Chain A
Amino acid sequence: MAAVRRERKALMKKKVMNGKRKISVVLSGFFLTVLALLFCSPVLLLLSGSVTGPYELRQMLRPVLEDERYTAAEVRERDTILWEPVPRYPTGEHYQKLLFFTPQFFTVFWNSVKLTGLIIGGQMLIAVPAAWALAVCRFRLRKILFTLYVILMLMPFQVTMLSQYLVLNGLSLMNTHWAVVFPAVFSTFPVFLIYRGFASLPEELLEAARVDGAGELGVFWHIGLPLGMPGILSAVVLGFLESWNLIEQPLAFLENRQLWPLSLYLPEIGPDQAGAAFAASVITLIPSGLVFWLGQDYLEQGIISSAIKG
């Protein structure tokens, strides 16, 4: 009888525990959902705004757009922006106008594609061998050189801008795409990122390859590249995201508007074309999202391997 009572009691206790766990899961799920929505709200705002009609947009953004004489604080005092997540009359006219009637957008879009492609390609040509050399080859001042790379990586653009400007001006590359491409190609960050991948390769594996008769180039090509691919691809993904969103370098080095990338074009869209700006932002976001989706696994692996090694 006592045993039955204990069993019943244990069962009750188990049920209570299960209920508490369920409540905990629900609460944490709700909390995470709210947090996720909060983080995703800018993107949701873009998507919502890009399909909202011009009249609705003007009504919603009235405090910002109507009177430029007032400061932002005065505007806030007068009125606040009441954003409706779902537009009353969804429309695709902003996309239509942007995609079919705004060739300027495509000029800057393909400028961004060109810059990003050249930067990524250049980085792969420079950073992968450099990272291999720093990770595998043993030569004098290697550690000092690597430390120098790390220090350079930590420097923000504002610090190196003047020296970059002087060099680019000396090479007569100002106001050309190469003024943006070259400094990015020789960036130290991808070297650092790929270095971690190469450094995690077992020394024995490389020795085995050498014993089997592989030269240094063969070891790099057949062993290093396949095994360091997560780091390389994570560098590609991060490099793409950085290059796609470049602002300071084009602003400093590109005077000709014909050479501007997307990141500089968006502020050029006037306040009365808010819908087009939203649509342009969404389209600008698409390649970044797809590239991230494409390289998500490699990015995670690369970061993990870098973190483990680090």
Chain B
Amino acid sequence: MKRRRTAAGLLTGFFVVMFLCTLISKGIYGAGLPRVAAQAPCRRTIGHEVKAEGTVAPGEELAINVPEGIRVSQVAVQPGDEVGPETLLFVADQEDLGELIREKEVEIEKLRLNIEDMEKNQNLARQKKGLEQQRAAQDAGRESQKENVSVNRSRQDLKKAEEELAAHLADRPEITGQEDRDGQNRDYENRAREEKELQEQIIELTGRIAQLEPEGAGGSDSGGGSVSGNQRPEEAEEAEELRKTRRDLAVLNERLSRLRLDQTEKPDFAGEDGEWKSWEEKRRLLEDGVQEAKRRLEDALRQQEEGSIDGERAKEDAALPDQADSTLQQSRLTLELLEERLEQYRRIYEAGGEVYGELPGIVTEIRIYPGERTADGGAVRYASQNSPFRLKATLTKDQKKYVNPGDQAEVRLNGTKLTLDVTYLAENRTVPDTFDLEIGLPAQTGVLGMSGSLHVAAQSDSYECCVPIEAVHEESGRFYVYALGSRQTILGEELSAEKIPVTVLDKNERYAALETGVITEETEVIVRSDREMKEGAIVRRME
């Protein structure tokens, strides 16, 4: 029983301890959670306030310019000193200035001599040029005349060759035409063939007669003419044939005799052809002569043209002006400058080396030092008292976005509040990503170097989704916010910080305008946290 009671007591104690530990652990857990304040985005405008500190600067700056190279023996003013026309600014070293003047005089004299030499040389060159032009014209005329003679001669040669050719062509020999020659040859061959045929027929008929004549009979005339009554029929037929053959032979002999009477010699054209050939050769020679004469004329004409062009070019070359040379003019200008500088030196020298101010003002910068020579540029700069001052300030790149020339700025100067326009705003050339701003001050306001402040207010368009600037975080140039989400854990549904990338449209020191889309009106954006948060971190609301 006691054991049971002990066990029951221990069990009860165990649960009590567990209950207490539950409270403690939850307390510690809750205390360890980041406490956050969240709010929904709202619609608002983003106002921009640009504040900057500046100093009063001169509105118009003047400079006292002196020739460079003068050795300064004494500087009589300091920055901030008021100067006027009677104020001594500095004193030049007289001895050194005298040396300078002498050096300048020598330099000027040398330059004058140089200029004289150059002028003489220019005249000489001009005369040479005229002579060259004249000679070029003469050469061109002579060459033209020579070429004209050559052309005329070539023309005459051509004319003569053409006349000879024409005369030869007119004396053309007569020759038998080819058709006539063929006809004559054909007639001759026909007669020869006919004679030969007749001769063959005569021989044949003579042989026949010899066969037909009876043996022992005399001539043909003895047995012919009659047929005796006692002759056989065959013999009668033969006698008849013999008579007929003799008649035919007589006819053929007669024809042959006639043919031989009409017979002419074989046609011969050799002489005629030789005469024609010699005429043709002469014609070719004459034509070649004409062609040669033409070519000579063309050559002469081309030479005449080329000679004319060369002559013209020679005249043009001779008429070309000389190379540009401004040495003389430069020397004259240098001489003028030196004389002017010498005049300035002399004026200072004659004033005993003392240099005075010109208009009333306050010295802002001195660029001369005792013992050193003056440099190019103003030796003493001072602010004119006749023009009002300006307030100069420097803006950052972010500030510049909200300020434009012409904007109204609230200026505080020595306790005085003024509303003035921004007169000048430009990028600073020496310091990157900074801008120089200037505001013109009213006349008789401020003192040079006085500090002042300016304040420019600008209002943006209305943005739908604006959150406090503390809610926007940046990492590697990208912006994000933490929104309240919920996560189901063993402890139940807990609030968590969800990282949401955003695009910042505009922002000022208090608010940032975000691009709508990912962030909606219902999104609770964490705007404040008592410790650093991480993506998905469990958080609790700030009471």
Chain A complexes with chain B: yes
> Is the Cβ of B25 less than 8 Å from the Cβ of A106?
yes
Question: In terms of DSSP, what is the predominant structure of the interface of chain A?
Answer: helix
Contact A290 B28 (CB under 8 A): no
The stretch from B129-137, B299-307, B486-494 touching chain A is: B486-494
Q: A81 in the interface, Cβ–Cβ < 8 Å?
A: no
Q: Given A106-B26, A260-B490, A265-B490, verify A294-B21 contact (CB < 8 Å).
A: no
Is B309 interfacial (CB-CB < 8 Å)? Answer: no
Q: Which residues of A contact B11 (CB under 8 A)?
A: 287, 290-291, 294
Q: Report whether B8 and A258 are in contact in the complex, using a CB–CB cutoff of 8 Å.
A: no
Residues of chain B from 5 to 38 with CB closer than 8 A to chain A in the complex: 7-8, 10-11, 14-15, 18, 21-22, 24-26, 28-29
Q: B531 in the interface, Cβ–Cβ < 8 Å? A: no
Contacts of A102 in B (CB 8 A): 25
Name which residue of chain B comes closest to A104, CB basis.
Answer: B490
- A200 touches B (CB below 8 Å): no
7 A-B pairs in the complex with CB atoms less than 8 angstroms apart: A109-B18, A109-B22, A257-B489, A286-B14, A290-B7, A290-B14, A293-B7
A14 and B490 alpha carbons, distance in the complex (Å): 69
| 4 residue pairs, one from A and one from B, having the closest CB atoms | A294-B7, A106-B22, A104-B490, A290-B11
Query: What class of interface size applies to chain B in its complex with A?
Result: 20 to 34
**Total A-B residue pairs with C-beta atoms closer than 8 Å?**
65
Q: From residue 280 to 308 of chain A, which have CB atoms closer than 8 A to chain B?
A: 283, 286-287, 290-291, 293-294, 297
By beta carbon, the residue of chain B nearest A292 is: B7
CB neighbours of A257 from chain B (8 A):
488-490
Which of A99, A104, A113 makes the CB contact (< 8 A) with B491?
A104
User: How many Å lie between the Cα of A197 and that of B27 in the bound state?
Assistant: 47
Chain A positions within 8 Å of B, measured between CB atoms, are 99-110, 113, 256-258, 260, 265, 268, 283, 286-287, 290-291, 293-294, 297
For B15, list chain A residues within 8 Å (CB): 113, 287
A110 touches B24 (CB 8 A): no
Q: Which partner residue on chain A sits nearest B22 by CB separation?
A: A106
Q: Flag whether B120 is at the interface (Cβ < 8 A).
A: no
Contact A101 B28 (CB under 8 A): yes
Q: Which residues of B contact A (CB under 8 A)?
A: 3-4, 7-8, 10-11, 14-15, 18, 21-22, 24-26, 28-29, 488-493
Partner of A99, one of B7, B10, B25, B489: B25
Q: Which residues of A contact B24 (CB under 8 A)?
A: 99-100
Q: List, in ascending order, chain B residues with CB within 8 A of A283's CB.
A: 18
* Min CB–CB distance B211 → chain A (angstroms): 149
Cα distance A102–B24 in the bound complex, in angstroms:
10
Q: Does the CB pair B25–A101 fall under 8 Å?
A: yes
Is B22 a contact of A110 with CB atoms below 8 Å? yes
Verify A104–B14 contact, CB threshold 8 A: no
Among residues of A, the one whose C-beta sits closest to the C-beta of B13 is: A290
User: Pick the contact of B490 from A113, A258, A294 — CB < 8 Å?
Assistant: A258
Q: What residues on B are CB-neighbors of A290 within 8 Å?
A: 7, 10-11, 14
Whether B25 and A293, one on each chain, are in contact in the complex, defined by CB atoms closer than 8 angstroms, is: no
The complex places the Cα of A103 from the Cα of B491 at a distance, in Å, of: 7
Instruction: Quote the shortest CB–CB distance from A166 to chain B (angstroms).
Output: 26
Residues in B with CB closer than 8 Å to A260 are 490
CB contacts (< 8 Å) of A297 on chain B: these are 4
